[in-house]
Structure 1
Amino acid sequence: MSDIQIEQIQDLLNQVVVEITQAANGLVEQARHLLSADSVLPEGVKLTPSDRYKLQQHIQTALQHSKYSHGMGFAGYSAETAEEQGYWTLEWWYKKDQKIQQAELENYQDLQQRLDFRSFDWFNYPAKNKQPYVDGPYVDYICNHAYTITFSHPVMIEQQFVGVIVIDLLVSTLDQLILPRLRRLDQTAVVTNDDARIILSNTAKYRTGALFREQAKATQNFVPQNHPFQLMLMQNYSSSRT
């Protein structure tokens, strides 16, 4: 019975990742095709009103169709020039009370400069490596004040990096989806990211965000290539799980 339950957990984790990855890839392609020459600058991107409106429509549609995502958006930056200051772009939409709302962070450039998301891993890694990146779990103090996992995919136009498509998955969403099944297992189980950072588990011993230091006592049951989630089962199970 445990093997069946483990397979079900694996399938659910994979469903989440596949859906979010497909949504991100779709938005990347839409952004690449709709951004006009007026938006793409030599040192980044600054959306025209027309391009911003079109991109917002795509983001809202993708978020409406997403079962697992909490928020989606586009982040970009145009470097400072002799003519004007650097400009931060963050088009962000999120779900609240079963509705999709806009976080109008784009309008507050002073706030953007203080935050400067170029220093965040979800922006910096794709900018430097031109590859997708998964960041978290971490507490997102900017948008939702909750434990969050951020998927970010670079947007490239003619080999130039212009920004990232960003999608947030709340750890609480995985809690609701996965934790009831973890609790049915006869073994202590921990779901981690690929850096061994704990996302959730079926015991209070292992806390979200902490580093999982007991890999030697665990077996990895779910480690597909390039997958951001890993399911660990403890070899030495104790029935005193709390």
Structure 2
Amino acid sequence: MSPTATMTPAEVAAYIAETIDPVFATIDAWRDAVERELSRHPEPTAAALDPFVSELVRSALEGPGLITGAGFVATPGYLADARWHLAWWLAGNGARDAAGVRRLAAVSDPESEDFRDYTGLEWWRVPERTGSRHLTGPYVDYVCTDDYTVTITTPVRVSGRMVGIVGADAYAARLEQELRKVIGGAGASCAVVNASGRVVTATESRREPGSILRLAGLADALAPLRDADPGVVSAVLPGGQSVLACGDTSLALVVGI
């Protein structure tokens, strides 16, 4: 599918899903690979796992696509040699290798004043609760880029236990640029929001990325996305706005804002 001058809201929602689906497919493949790797080791270690994760995500960071950061974050206490561990790599500024990729310098000592418990962050909490993929943001990512970011994460399981997450970051501005190519063709004012009602992009400049779209009934309409049950979102709000799920991306298109 390609964007045209005029599209129905359903076609716009489908195009949004089509734009993001390749990122989701990449993350799902990473999850499967990490699960297989971890299943081979009765006592996995960060020292052994990190080179594997680095090689796994490197090609996505070297290319011109949406992904600007990626990796694996471990459930505290799972890895034998690192209670808290982020194996995360970034494309862009900093001390990079020959391919333009650098590792995130994360603080893993709980006694340090710079330490942050990542299990309290949305990109961890929601996949842990739902057992499914989640899109967080846009938000200012003070851990990695200090810029507006969208983070997509999905749980990694071994023997039925969640042992961490794999995921990817994308600059919100880059994602917004991709999505704005199509939402203008919906024939009405509209916004793309995440499961929390946070704006990813909108046709109206006053609806800034990262802001909450406050409409009567919207929180209830988006509840299935928060419960990892996309596809069922198709609602008309009390104010007459329509809400459509964008496939299984955990995003929704709100038309008539």
Q: Shorter chain as normaliser: what TM range?
A: 0.7 to 0.9
Q: Letter of the aligned partner of 1:170 in structure 2?
A: Y
Match of 1:17?
Answer: 20
Q: Kindly state the Cα deviation for residue 206 of structure 1 after the two structures are TM-superposed.
A: 1.4
With structure 1 as the length reference, what TM-score do the two structures score? 0.78
Pairwise CA distance, 1:210: 2.2
1:227 aligns with 2:249: yes
Other-structure match for 1:34: 37
Alpha-carbon deviation of 1:2?
5.3
Kept in 2: contact 1:189–1:201 (CA 8 A) = yes
Where in structure 2 are there 5+ consecutive unaligned residues? 94-98, 216-236
- Say yes or no: does 1:94 pair with 2:94: no
Change (3 A) 1:195 1:12: same
CA distance in 2, matches of 1:164, 1:224: 23
Residue 33 of structure 1 aligns to a residue whose secondary structure is: helix
1:22-56 per-residue CA deviation (whole Å, 9 max, x = no partner) reads 1111111111112242544xxxxx42x23221221
Q: What is the alpha-carbon distance in structure 2 between the residues aligned to residue 122 and residue 59 of structure 1?
A: 18
1:128 Cα offset (Å): 3.8
Extract unaligned runs of 5+ from structure 1.
41-45, 236-242
1:186–1:21 distance in 2 versus 1, CA, 3 Å = closer
Percent identity between matched residues is 16
Q: Count how many residue pairs are aligned between Structure 1 and Structure 2.
A: 224
Q: Amino acid of the residue matched to residue 74 of structure 2?
A: G
Name which of structure 1's ranges 211-220 and 52-61 shifts more when overlaid on structure 2.
211-220
User: How far apart, in 1, do the equivalents of 2:82 and 2:103 lie?
Assistant: 23
Q: Which has the larger radius of gyration?
A: 1
CA contact (8 A) 1:16 1:68 kept: no
Q: Could you tell me whether the CA contact under 8 Å between 1:34 and 1:55 is conserved in 2? A: no
* Structural RMSD (CA): 3.1
CA displacement at 1:100 relative to structure 2: 2.5
C-alpha deviations, 1:66-121, integer Å up to 9, x for none? 722121110013339xxx9971110111221693222132x753559721101112
Q: Is contact 1:189-1:233 (8 Å) kept?
A: yes
The structure with the greater share of residues assigned to strand is 1
